[in-house]
Structure 1
Amino acid sequence: MTETIQADICVIGAGAGGLSVAAGASQMGASVVLFEKGEMGGDCLNVGCVPSKALLAAGHAAHAAASAGRFGVDAPVRSVDWARVRDHVRGVIAEIAPMDSVARYSGFGVRVVQAEARFTGPRAVEGGGVRVEAKFVVIGTGSTPAVPPIPGLDSVPFLTNETVFDLETRPRRLLVLGGGPIGCELAQAHARLGCEVVLVEAKSLLGVEDQEAAEVVRLALRRDGVEIHEGTAAIHAGPSADGIELTVRSDAGEGVLSGSHLLVAVGRRVGFEGLDLSRAGIETDERGRLKLDRRLRTTNRRVFAVGDAAGGAQFTHLAGFHAGIVIRNALFRLPAKAEIALPRVTYTAPELASVGDDEAALRGRGDAFEVLRWPFAENDRAVAEREVEGFTKLYVSPKGRILGAVVVGTGAGEIVSLYTLAIAKKLKVSDIAGLVVPYPTRTEVVKRAAGSWYVPKLFSARTRRIVRFLMRFA
């Protein structure tokens, strides 16, 4: 028999966005039912952000040991124990998992149903022998790895981010298809852990990022031994005597790249198969994305979408922001809109982070702006730690308002938060230049870049004349 539950909120999907809605709403007094057909925590915990950063940490440790000689410390890497690296990754997941567990959310008062769910009406969801009649429904079903239509790809055992962390042995030669953040991060991690790595990108590496900053990452990957093929399309995949072969095409012609393993990292796709959206009056566009308004409501105004399901940028921190928008709309009837200064980070070494408008967007709109910059090579902390690669660059309006920013270098993902606050609060360079930051820290590059706005005025001939005049009366 089917159990029927009356609830205030029904959430489909226990990823970052769905969990945030469920926890927030239940602790504020709403009755919540949460459906999850897979593992609690979704992609981020189990196959995305958490394991990838754990693997990167292992790669960084190996690199730090191998490069310690620059500090007068000899610490050669004798070997990389792949089984222990894998155990480290699994251990990190296991340590964080209780935060996303059924037990924890049950403790919040959330009814967790571990089953696939589907709509049976405008506000009705059913799965696992449970039917929920809710006042509001939230779709947080995430995304899955995109698989390109390459002939022969279905004939080889390729990896994605959902399977690469389960490898029993270290790949001898890893082919990475895709030069976006996931491809670059995993390529570098494996290279630093002793794998031969070949990265194939149809366009340009980190193509959506500032290309001056992307060049810093490109050079770092090559130094780590990653063989990069840009402007190169994979046109066929097939088995070889010792693994996999990719036939590729570039301006130089066709060629074959071989490897023991193939990682497909060309992005992620959002799909709603099995949800029976039509039974809830929910429409999608020609690309299969949900039609949403700025309040994250579908064409059924009682159904919201969060995270990857909302069809925009695919970041865990955006999913968390979406959860707040939904809670304000559903629980408090506040017309909150999903408008935000959204930072993004590629966690290579060095990291590449950005927020706000980029130079191409500003030029495309014909906006007037000035570029301010400061290199890490002129930052004392970076020099002391021998990590001087990179710079910060920010775009400023004629009136001094910060429009966008880029940071490439060690700690860029932390530094970009200051720019995010500045853009969100419509701050000016004077607000940043006037900050007192600890010395020596890398954050000084932000203050120095902002302060450079005033250099032409402060050290002008006019200023010198004024100072000389005033000093006569000192």
Structure 2
Amino acid sequence: MTPTDRIIDFLVLGGGTAGIVGAKTAAGLGARTVLVEQERTGGDCLWTGCVPSKTLLSAAAQARTLRMQAGQEPDFPAVRERIATAIRTIEPVDTPEALEQAGVEVLPGRVRFTGPGIADLDGRPLRFRQALIATGGEPARPPIPGLDPALTVTSETVWDLAVLPDRLAILGGGPVACELGQAFARLGSDVTMIVRSRILAKEIPEAVDLVRESLKADGVKILENTTLAKASSTGEGVRLQLADRTAMDASIVLLATGRTPRTVGLGLERVGVSLDARGHVITDSHMRTSNPLIWAAGDVTTHPQFTHLAGVHASVAASNAVLGLRRRISTAVPRVTYTSPEIAAVSTASEEGQSEVSRTVRHSHLDRAITEDKTDGFTRLLVGRGGRIIGGTIVGPRAGESLAELSLAVHKKLRTSDIAGATHAYPTYSDGVWNAAVLDVRERLRSPLTGTAIKVLSRIRRLAIDRRRISSKPGTPPGSDGRH
């Protein structure tokens, strides 16, 4: 009997972040777990997403400093090698060997469902009790008349560029477009962003304004509320005609207009798994699909497409599947755009009818920011009824690190008094969260009702002290109030 002849407790489709975390969780709980990956384990985050992009951003920031201080031009091959080194360093924890050491059986190939409890792996039948769909997504390729695919790259293929493009046009204005746009501009490319609405549309305008100005300072040209009508190839690249009939030339076009889920060909219709209009797998708050024995996590679902969310959701799905639990995913979703400055935000669904106020601390009043001479940012808390923290935004260096405390506060439904009452190290950028919490507590103490209560308590305390002082006078009989 071969390994695949035995029934599988937990079948995982996909070897990216969601698949790896889900498989390790299930195996750790004692389930016979098989993970199928058709290409290489590690997923977009390792090979084409988080790791290479953040390495590129770091290298570009250093290149900008060297150019400004010493007039030294960036070495693009050295940047590419640094990215490759980062991937090689992190890769071992995501290899099939590492998964097998964790108790997960890894099989190569393409898998599809053929019926209840049955899947096909390149002609080999697999029988399973439960399954996790974690096939992820891929960059969208919008149809642009006349645009030669050979003159385009995506977030997956931009890493194949051997030469720094002289003129880079970016179609899109989300985090990927902004991060890569700033990085390539700092490395020396002439970058133009073509954005249908505005950059970073999910973030608050005040935060976006700071990033927009920083991008422009690095030489990025931003064309907002603009669409690309058509394109044509030239001897040196591509000519882009915009909807307003203006034209621009580029060496290559980076398509950064979102992602599409990898659900085609999985046979989901054979096992009753429902999809939305765009092909994403629909799940409930437990990460269960419309088939109670099939779960899903990561970019293939309708949830926000973040690596950290994929891992957490996969862990919830696997533990619910193996142990029969009813764990729910958190509604607190943190996100970070790693531009300079960073924008970090966390939000959750507000309660119906809940009043909200914002408390903002400008980093011009944040001591660590002053010492670093980086005071353009701010920290803003969104506070609900009773001082409960329901969201917030941080703009500045390492904003993603400062967001951790705020994410925990939202998840655990903490109040500003909880943050204000905890001792924080000084001076740090995370002081912004503490200072904003203190600001909210002080503002609430100024309310008429609270003010009246404070006055009453203060008067009672003064009377008690006076009574104790009088009763402690020499010659006053014990128990006497000192009156005659």
Asked if these proteins are the same fold (TM beyond 0.5), I'd say: yes
The answer to whether residue 327 in structure 2 is matched with residue 326 in structure 1 is no
Which stretch of structure 1 is more off in the superposition, 437-446 or 288-297?
Answer: 288-297
Which stretch of structure 1 is more off in the superposition, 373-382 or 180-189?
Answer: 373-382
Contact conserved, 1:156 with 1:239, CA < 8 A, in 2? no
1:316-371 CA-partner distances (Å, limit 9, x unpaired):
1111111221122111111122233110110101110111149xx79xx6642111
- Distance apart, 1:453 and its partner CA: 1.4
Which stretch of structure 1 is more off in the superposition, 390-399 or 8-17?
Answer: 390-399
Secondary structure of the residue aligned to 1:311 is coil
Secondary structure of the residue aligned to 1:389 is coil
Write the letter of the residue equivalent to 2:338.
Y
1:39-77 CA-partner distances (Å, limit 9, x unpaired):
11111111111111110110111233345xxxxxxx324
The answer to whether residue 329 in structure 2 is matched with residue 338 in structure 1 is yes
**Residue 153 of structure 2, aligned match among 148, 159, 163:** 159
Write the letter of the residue equivalent to 1:25.
A
Which stretch of structure 1 is more off in the superposition, 92-101 or 153-162?
Answer: 153-162
Q: Structure 1 stretches of 5 or more lacking a match?
A: 68-74
The answer to whether residue 348 in structure 2 is matched with residue 354 in structure 1 is no
Counterparts in 2 of 1:155 and 1:354: CA distance versus 1, 3 Å:
closer
- Distance apart, 1:30 and its partner CA: 1.2
Paired position in structure 2 for 1:61: 62
1:215-272 CA-partner distances (Å, limit 9, x unpaired):
11111111111011100011112212321121112xxx32112111110001111131
Contact conserved, 1:156 with 1:244, CA < 8 A, in 2? no
C-alpha distance in 2 between matches for 1:449 and 1:283: 43
1:84-138 CA-partner distances (Å, limit 9, x unpaired):
1001111111111111001111222221111111112212222145432111111
Write the letter of the residue equivalent to 2:99.
Y
Paired position in structure 2 for 1:371: 358
Paired position in structure 1 for 2:376: 389
- Distance apart, 1:291 and its partner CA: 3.2
The answer to whether residue 431 in structure 2 is matched with residue 444 in structure 1 is yes
Rg larger in 1 or in 2?
A: 2
Paired position in structure 2 for 1:89: 83
The answer to whether residue 121 in structure 2 is matched with residue 121 in structure 1 is no
C-alpha distance in 2 between matches for 1:147 and 1:269: 9
Paired position in structure 2 for 1:70: none
Contact conserved, 1:39 with 1:46, CA < 8 A, in 2? no
C-alpha distance in 2 between matches for 1:459 and 1:291: 47
- Distance apart, 1:417 and its partner CA: 1.1
Paired position in structure 1 for 2:44: 43
Paired position in structure 2 for 1:21: 22
- What number of residue pairs does the alignment pair up? 460
Contact conserved, 2:25 with 2:319, CA < 8 A, in 1? no
C-alpha distance in 1 between matches for 2:198 and 2:86: 33
- Distance apart, 1:4 and its partner CA: 2.5
Which stretch of structure 1 is more off in the superposition, 334-343 or 435-444?
Answer: 334-343
Which stretch of structure 1 is more off in the superposition, 201-210 or 378-387?
Answer: 378-387
**Residue 105 of structure 2, aligned match among 94, 111, 125:** 111
The answer to whether residue 403 in structure 2 is matched with residue 420 in structure 1 is no
Paired position in structure 1 for 2:250: 259
Write the letter of the residue equivalent to 1:401.
R
Contact conserved, 2:171 with 2:253, CA < 8 A, in 1? yes
Percent pairwise identity: 39
Which stretch of structure 1 is more off in the superposition, 105-114 or 50-59?
Answer: 105-114
The answer to whether residue 218 in structure 2 is matched with residue 228 in structure 1 is no
Contact conserved, 2:332 with 2:348, CA < 8 A, in 1? no
Secondary structure of the residue aligned to 1:308 is coil
Which stretch of structure 1 is more off in the superposition, 365-374 or 44-53?
Answer: 365-374
TM-score, normalised with respect to structure 2 = 0.89
- Distance apart, 1:458 and its partner CA: 5.8
Which stretch of structure 1 is more off in the superposition, 407-416 or 292-301?
Answer: 292-301
C-alpha distance in 1 between matches for 2:80 and 2:304: 29
- Distance apart, 1:156 and its partner CA: 4.9
C-alpha distance in 2 between matches for 1:367 and 1:23: 40
Q: Structure 2 stretches of 5 or more lacking a match?
A: 470-484
Paired position in structure 2 for 1:273: 264
1:144-194 CA-partner distances (Å, limit 9, x unpaired):
001112212245520001110111011111111111000000000111111
Contact conserved, 1:146 with 1:267, CA < 8 A, in 2? yes
Counterparts in 2 of 1:304 and 1:457: CA distance versus 1, 3 Å:
closer
Secondary structure of the residue aligned to 1:235 is strand
- Distance apart, 1:431 and its partner CA: 0.7
Secondary structure of the residue aligned to 1:288 is coil
Write the letter of the residue equivalent to 2:275.
T
Paired position in structure 2 for 1:380: 367
1:359-395 CA-partner distances (Å, limit 9, x unpaired):
xx79xx6642111000111111111112212101111
C-alpha distance in 2 between matches for 1:335 and 1:367: 27
Counterparts in 2 of 1:241 and 1:229: CA distance versus 1, 3 Å:
same
Write the letter of the residue equivalent to 1:405.
G
Write the letter of the residue equivalent to 2:407.
T
C-alpha distance in 2 between matches for 1:255 and 1:232: 11
Paired position in structure 2 for 1:72: none
- Distance apart, 1:470 and its partner CA: 5.4
C-alpha distance in 1 between matches for 2:257 and 2:242: 15
The answer to whether residue 301 in structure 2 is matched with residue 310 in structure 1 is yes
Contact conserved, 2:151 with 2:237, CA < 8 A, in 1? no
Paired position in structure 2 for 1:71: none
